[in-house]
Chain A
Amino acid sequence: MIKIRLLLLTLLLAPLTAVFADVADAVKSPKGYGSKGYVWGKLLPEQVTVLKLTGDPVRGKEAFRGCRGCHKADAAGVTDGTYPRLTGQHARVVIKQVTEVRAGIRVNPKMEPFSADHAVSPQEIADIAVFLATAETTRENGKGDGDAVAKGKKLYEQGRCRNCHGTYGEGDADGPYPVIAAQHYGYLKREMEYIKKGIRGNSHPDMVRAIRNYSHEDIDAMADYLSRLPDYRQSLAERKGK
């Protein structure tokens, strides 16, 4: 009964959903990757400002309220991957993503009104970033079906993804390169498709080159593998213990 009602609700919402259709309809950012003058990692004026500020995780938790409606109260996102997991993400990665959405370099119309400068101040971005970097979650992330883990691992290694994202998917706080271990499967897959197509506006050109020649099945296998890696903090702690 509930299922039928949900189905009806979904049908009613269908025309609206079209506005936010995913990979197939996503558009290139006019200011991002592939546009004239795009330089990966060139600091925007706002990034210079935010990076100078000292973030406070207690204030960050409060400022994150405006984000919880999508990324959830524990910042672990939605399991189907519509909204990514943000817990444990490097502060500099969070700052880069939010400010580049604000600058129109990474296109994210769903989030834009809630992360725009009228909604969040540079200080709040700095605060949220440290809050997220230290946030823990006990909730399981969305995982692939587990069929292609071995293949995914091989492709991840062959693609030299480790150079930037590390052996454990731990990324690099200074790169800044994102943590991709234990991220939701659906989100990983979508982002890699965006990167492949050149429509993730703030892509690293070396990564686009690395992913471009992978098939959809390859991407699926890597998403399966990465989604099944443990939280990188756990992996690093175990390595230290050995």
Chain B
Amino acid sequence: MCMKPDQSRPCWQCGLALLVSGWLLSPLVAHAQAVPLAERLQLCAGCHNPDGNSSIPENPNLSGLDADYIVRQLQDFKSGSRKSPVMSGIIPMIDDKEFPALAEFFSKQKPKPGAKADAKLAAQGKEIYDEGIVGSAVPACSGCHNEDGSGTEKYPRIAGQHSSYVIQQLINFKSGERANDVKAVMRAVAKRMNEKEIRAVAEYVVTLKGAQE
């Protein structure tokens, strides 16, 4: 970042630049200020619904996602390493200290089944999800995200996620627009897929139920 390779602290030029730009921009940027969880959740609920099962397909379901995964996404929106026209506008208002409680809350919400899917397309998607595409070396999604889409600590839950959100994320991974995947593996997966395959697999992801308690 703003560091010389041999220094652990930011160099003074950078510090000055940050100070000046901060002063210039301060009236424009909303300052992060911690507020109580219940109050903050009202903001999130506007788009992700109170229980994290959003009604608008462009806004992802947050229910049941791994808490560490949520924290990391929020940090990445804040640092700019994940960009979203919507979340990037909201995140500066939120204090980093709030992230763990928000993540904890949404991770504990019960996921709802996804919308009704086009059965024909979903069947094509299932083939890709379970077996991958051998010819173009797309690994099976189930390998990492589990057969039921329940995910693990390292690989996020995707079961029942809105198809339009899944499609958008895969397109973003493919183009490199979303490049915050820690191991760069999702970019490698999506780069090998065409839009038709992406649509099919997304249609199947909607139908996944995740682990059933």
Contact B143 A68 (CB under 8 A): yes
A41 is an interface residue with CB less than 8 A from chain B? no
- Cα A77 to Cα B143 with chains together (Å): 12
Contact A16 B132 (CB under 8 A): no
B142 is an interface residue with CB less than 8 A from chain A? yes
A13-B139 CB under 8 A given contacts A66-B144, A66-B183, A69-B144: no
Contact B196 A12 (CB under 8 A): yes
A216 is an interface residue with CB less than 8 A from chain B? no
A119's contact among B137, B143, B184, by CB below 8 Å, is which? Answer: B184
A16-B192 CB under 8 A given contacts A66-B185, A118-B184, A119-B185: yes
Residues facing B in A1-16 (CB within 8 A) are 5, 9-10, 12-14, 16
- Cα A20 to Cα B189 with chains together (Å): 15
Q: Which residues of B contact A66 (CB under 8 A)?
A: 143-144, 183, 185
Distance in Å: Cβ of B142 to nearest Cβ of chain A = 7
Contact B152 A65 (CB under 8 A): yes
Contact A13 B132 (CB under 8 A): no
Instruction: Give the size category of A's interface with B.
Output: 20 to 34
B135's contact among A5, A17, A70, by CB below 8 Å, is which? Answer: A17
B136's contact among A5, A13, A113, by CB below 8 Å, is which? Answer: A13
Q: Which residue of B lies closest to A117 (CB)?
A: B183
- Cα A113 to Cα B185 with chains together (Å): 7
Complex interface bits, A70-97 against B, C-beta within 8 A gives 1, otherwise 0: 1011000010101100000000000000
- Cα A82 to Cα B137 with chains together (Å): 9
Complex interface bits, A105-122 against B, C-beta within 8 A gives 1, otherwise 0: 000011101101011000
Contact B194 A16 (CB under 8 A): yes
Q: Which residues of A contact B192 (CB under 8 A)?
A: 16
B154's contact among A13, A65, A82, A116, by CB below 8 Å, is which? Answer: A65
Q: Which residues of B contact A114 (CB under 8 A)?
A: 139, 185, 188
B124 is an interface residue with CB less than 8 A from chain A? yes
In the complex, besides A20-B135, A68-B143, A78-B134, 8 extra interface pairs with C-beta distance below 8 angstroms are A16-B194, A65-B152, A69-B132, A70-B140, A111-B137, A113-B185, A119-B183, A119-B184
B155 is an interface residue with CB less than 8 A from chain A? yes
Inter-chain contact total with CB atoms closer than 8 Å: 72
Contact A9 B124 (CB under 8 A): yes
Contact A69 B136 (CB under 8 A): no
Distance in Å: Cβ of A224 to nearest Cβ of chain B = 22
Q: Which residues of A contact B136 (CB under 8 A)?
A: 13, 16-17, 19-20
- Cα A161 to Cα B196 with chains together (Å): 47
Residues of B at the A interface (CB closer than 8 Å) are 124, 132-144, 152, 154-155, 183-185, 187-189, 192, 194, 196
Q: Which residues of B contact A118 (CB under 8 A)?
A: 183-184
Distance in Å: Cβ of B17 to nearest Cβ of chain A = 30
Contact B135 A13 (CB under 8 A): yes
Contact B143 A113 (CB under 8 A): no
- Cα A19 to Cα B189 with chains together (Å): 15
- Cα A85 to Cα B8 with chains together (Å): 46
Distance in Å: Cβ of A85 to nearest Cβ of chain B = 15
A207 is an interface residue with CB less than 8 A from chain B? no
- Cα A100 to Cα B136 with chains together (Å): 22
- Cα A80 to Cα B135 with chains together (Å): 12
Distance in Å: Cβ of B134 to nearest Cβ of chain A = 5
A229 is an interface residue with CB less than 8 A from chain B? no
Residues facing B in A30-89 (CB within 8 A) are 62, 65-70, 72-73, 78, 80, 82-83
* A-B residue pairs, 5 tightest by C-beta: A69-B139, A69-B143, A68-B143, A113-B188, A110-B137
Contact B143 A70 (CB under 8 A): yes
Contact B184 A16 (CB under 8 A): no
Q: Which residues of B contact A111 (CB under 8 A)?
A: 137
- Cα A110 to Cα B132 with chains together (Å): 13
Q: Which residues of B contact A109 (CB under 8 A)?
A: 137
B137, B143, B144 — which one has the most chain A CB atoms within 10 A of its CB?
A: B137
Q: Which residues of B contact A65 (CB under 8 A)?
A: 143-144, 152, 154-155
- Cα A119 to Cα B187 with chains together (Å): 12
